Structure 1
Amino acid sequence: MKKQVLISAVIASAIVLGGCATDDPNKRAKRGALLGAIGGAAIGQMAGKDTKSTMIGAAVGAIAGGAVGTYMDKQAAELEEQLAAERARDELQIQRLSDNALKIGIASDVSFDVDSATLKPNAQATFTRIAEVLKDYDSTIIHVVGHTDSTGSAEYNQNLSERRASSVVSTLTGNGVKPARLRQEGRGEAEPIASNDTKAGRTQNRRVDIVIKPVIEGQEQQAAEPPPYLGA
């Protein structure tokens, strides 16, 4: 079975690469991308990994277990440097989670107008800087999770949180983050980090969380699993 997978991958690459026009200026890039994807899938199958792990392995490179801490530390340091102004204004927080993941919690009030899922210009600049760092650390899966306060109906809040997460994902992909690395979801009013009984608390609950999970060798599927509860 392993041989069949490997042979199939080689045949597929030969057929597709053979069909590339000789004068195609992007032939080398296309060839590298194709071989990388096919090679990742073949290796994943040969190692007995499930479909999800195979897909993740083909999309991004995995990190050796012993190097994960250093990899995520460097990424956190660069994010802190790039987002120092926002952190000083208390517009976002960067946290280390227990599973080597990073969380960037961003206040919705500085990102969106009330009842809107359109990013404000200043927020566009913030997410652009986030994207610049994420592009350089591509052995991660990025989860974008929208949240709201409890004002209004639960159905409305769920929809708004989903649309806001989608806007952030669009901005990240528009600035070069590969779509295959991104996951998005809305959790509505279900995961507050403060009391919804006060204006200040509701302000804190209206937010977008970006959870950055490392893709670790042998544990690839875990990176794609939704983050756990993100409330207080």
Structure 2
Amino acid sequence: MTHIRHLSVVLVTATAVGLSACASDPNRDTKRGAAIGAVLGAVAGHQVDGDKGRYIGAVVGALAGGAAGNYMDKQRKELEQKLAAEAARDELQIVQLSGDALKIGVASDISFETNSATLQSGALNTFAKIANVLKDYDKTVIHVVGHTDSTGSAQYNQSLSERRAAAVSTFLASQGVPPSRVREEGRGERELLIRTGDNVNEARNRRVDIIIKPVIEGQENQAWTPPPYLGG
């Protein structure tokens, strides 16, 4: 379902690009077809090269194994610099994970109203800063994972976490992050950052995690693998 939603987004984008050509341009149909074809080529990056077991086409090139650490360290430092104010207000945390991956954990309370999956206006600037850095480091796959606390039913929390992840993913796309690089999922109340019992209103468990995984030559499929357990 996520893949289908991403396909719809990029098809709309490609169509808009094609239609922006001047109506009097005799080559407009060719240009429109080329634009849509290029975007579909990017979407094909979610397909696996059967001979090599690799995901292909979704990102620009891949990193040599020895270069991944420096590449991700540079990205982490830039994120920390751009998001220093938010980190000082405890609105987010940037954490180094195994495999040179990075995690930006953003508090849901500053992003969404209670029981809402609509991004608050005050959060847009934060996610725009994140998007601007992600665009500059295009040899990565971005996983957007939504979480909730343990209040309410598990079924409702699962749906809410999915809708919030989708809202963040859509906003990143609106800021120029290619949808072909983004995967989204909700994990409901299954991965609590602060372990609690049922029906506990714990703000720190309400969050959206953005996991940034490097695409390493020969190990491209690992970048697309969903992040491991993200709870505490």
TM-score norm. by structure 2 comes to: 0.78
Query: Is the 1:194–1:201 Cα contact (8 Å) retained in structure 2?
Result: no
Compute the RMSD of aligned alpha carbons: 2.9
Q: Distance in 1 between matches of 2:181 and 2:57?
A: 11
Q: Among all aligned residue pairs of Structure 1 and Structure 2, give the percentage whose two residues are the same amino acid.
A: 59
Alignment of 1:124-139 (within 5 A): 124-139=124-139
Shift, 1:211, TM fit: 0.3
**Displacement after TM superposition at 1:187 (Å):** 0.3
For residue 48 of structure 1, report the CA deviation from its aligned partner: 2.5
What is the distance in 2 between the residues matched to 1:200 and 1:159? 18
CA contact (8 A) 1:169 1:182 kept: yes
Q: Which moved more, 1:177-186 or 1:193-202?
A: 193-202
Q: Compute the displacement of 1:195 (Å).
A: 3.2
Equivalents in 1 of 2:187, 2:198: separation in Å?
20
Structure 1 residue 99 displacement after superposition? 1.1
Tell me how far 1:198 sits from its aligned partner. 10
Cα 1:151–1:165, aligned 2, differ >3 Å: closer, same or farther? same
Instruction: Give the equivalent residue in structure 2 for 1:4.
Output: none
Q: CA deviation at 1:144?
A: 0.3
- 1:57 positional shift: 2.5
- Contact 1:195 1:201 (8 Å CA) reproduced: no
Q: Which residue of 1 aligns with 2:21?
A: none
Question: Which residue of structure 2 aligns with residue 59 of structure 1?
Answer: 58
1:214 and 2:217 are equivalent in the alignment: no
| Distance across 1 between alignment mates of 2:200 and 2:79 | 26
The residue number in structure 2 matching 1:227 is 227
Match of 1:48 in 2: 51
Output the CA distance in 2 between the equivalents of 1:99 and 1:201. Answer: 33
Gaps of 5+ in 2: 1-24
Deviation for aligned residue 1:196: 3.0
Report how far residue 122 of structure 1 moved. Answer: 1.3
For the 8 Å contact 1:106–1:207, the answer to whether it is kept is yes
What is the 5 A alignment of 1:149-188?
149-188=149-188
TM superposition outliers: structure 1 runs of 4+ over 6 Å:
198-201
Counterpart AA for 1:77? K
The answer to whether the 8 Å contact 2:150/2:197 transfers is no
Mapped to 1, the partners of 2:125 and 2:62 lie a distance apart of 29
Amino acid at match of 1:99: G
SS at match of 1:99: helix
Closer, same or farther: CA 197–180 of 1 in aligned 2, 3 Å: same
Bigger mean CA deviation after superposition, 146-155 or 58-67: 58-67
Residue of structure 1 in register with 2:4 after alignment: none
Work out which of the two has the higher radius of gyration on C-alpha atoms and give 1 or 2: 1
Partner Cα distance (1:86, 1:208) in 2 = 15
When the two structures are superposed, what TM-score results if normalisation uses the length of structure 1?
Answer: 0.78
3-state SS in 2 of match to 1:152: coil
SS at structure 2 position matched to 1:70: helix
Counterpart of 2:57, as a letter, is A
Determine the structure 2 residue equivalent to 1:121: 121
Partner of 1:196: 196
Mapped contact 2:139–2:215 kept (Cα < 8 A): yes
Q: Is the contact made by 1:146 and 1:162 (CA closer than 8 Å) also made in structure 2?
A: yes
Q: Compute the displacement of 1:49 (Å).
A: 1.3
Higher helix share: 1
User: By how many angstroms is 1:23 displaced?
Assistant: 5.0
Provide the secondary structure at the position in 2 that maps to 1:66: helix
In 2, distance between residues paired with 1:86 and 1:194? 21
